[in-house]
Structure 1
């Protein structure tokens, strides 16, 4: 009886799970058009992704049908892989948000409450070529200047900026590698010094002190 009830509950949970909009290169533009998005890039085998899935489904269901905000996901192991590659996804899950054509990294906590608060504060119309009325004068001028560029010039500028991001990432990794090497060397130096102190007779000194203390007590 208990076994049957457990199966029933499990089936009900699976049926009630919200079907989060799944993005691929084929539907990306049509699904995200006019939206400000919050996207989870994931891999089905990723443990952290599995743990996060129920909260992401709940959040997506809350935003279902919203005029502006969209909660979606991209499976980086199937048809969505080109989107993951294009957005520089290197780990799972990776969360990005904002203008579908210019996503930004989400760096906050991944608890449901924090995700929900972030979505509420950020999934609103943003300055973009499609929403010039939301841009300040500086951004409008920047968009106008970019619109005047040829496709080749735009691609060149995008590549140059992406190379800066790659350089920053490489610099960070190099610094971390150096820190790890320094830590290893410091740890080895510490172990050598500790061994030298012990080998110099510290143990014997303590043993002699303890012995003399014991002898002194016995003489009393």
Structure 2
């Protein structure tokens, strides 16, 4: 008995199983959410891929600009080219003190846990700043997402600033002020913060009160202006009527 039919049937079964697997894996996924699309988008990232495992090591002592994204997010994909160009610019110019990174919030748990840690609620979200103190100094970028805008912003903002984690960037005056805060206790710092916040509230209330007073003066002056204009118009009208009357009387006299 020939074994050829057996191997033919086995090959056919394998082909059917493979086709079934592909159908199950790809056909019923929305565009952009199938595994092939996701893998392609992830692999196209030129920025440093950050995960829970490497985040602390790769960002230590650096200024960071991080993109939190999802492979199937349309807005994320729209800015992908610009972000790749920014990453390549920093990589090619030897700016080793700055790290351009990407975190995939759908990559569980590697990226997803970082997105939870940084309380990311919308995608894409871009955070920037010094990486020290567990990301407490990171701020959200809210500008345009073209390459020129991102590069211009990064060159301006991703520079050492006077902070407790980067004292070398302080001027003599800034260092003196920073040292005075560092010497304070936790309670003293809290009291100073509360005092400054109180001053801010009082300034806002004072401005609001003065603005309302100015608004009242403005409204009063506006009413006075309108009344004067109305009176002047009425006077002008009356004078014109008198003038016309005089003209008519003169014409009658001449006749």
Q: Name the TM tier (shorter chain).
A: 0.5 to 0.7
SS of equivalent to 1:63: helix
Aligned counterpart in structure 1 of residue 157 of structure 2, from 114, 122, 127:
122
1:82 matched to which residue of 2? Answer: 113
Structure 2, unmatched stretches of 5+, are 1-40, 191-255
1:134 matched to which residue of 2? Answer: 169
SS of equivalent to 1:41: strand
1:106 matched to which residue of 2? Answer: 141
Matches within 5 A, 1:1-220: 19-64=46-91, 65-78=94-107, 79-100=110-131, 101=135, 102-135=137-170, 137=173, 145=181
**Alignment TM-score, normalising by the size of structure 1:** 0.55
Cα–Cα, structure 1 residues 133 and 120, in superposed 2: closer, same or farther, change >3 Å?
same
Cα–Cα, structure 1 residues 129 and 57, in superposed 2: closer, same or farther, change >3 Å?
same
- Which structure's relative contact order is higher, taking Cα pairs within 8 Å and 6+ residues apart? 1
Cα–Cα, structure 1 residues 143 and 63, in superposed 2: closer, same or farther, change >3 Å?
farther
Aligned equivalents of 2:78, 2:60: Cα separation in 1: 29
Q: For the aligned residues, what is the CA RMSD?
A: 3.2
Aligned equivalents of 2:175, 2:44: Cα separation in 1: 41
SS of equivalent to 2:79: helix
Q: Which runs of 4+ in 1 moved over 4 A?
A: 136-150
**Alignment TM-score, normalising by the size of structure 2:** 0.48
Work out which of the two has the higher radius of gyration on C-alpha atoms and give 1 or 2.
2
Deviations 1:63-101, CA, capped at 9 Å, x for gaps: 114121211111111111222122221000001100112
Cα–Cα, structure 1 residues 74 and 146, in superposed 2: closer, same or farther, change >3 Å?
farther
Aligned equivalents of 2:46, 2:165: Cα separation in 1: 28
Structure 1, unmatched stretches of 5+, are 1-13, 158-220
- Give how far 1:133 is off: 2.1
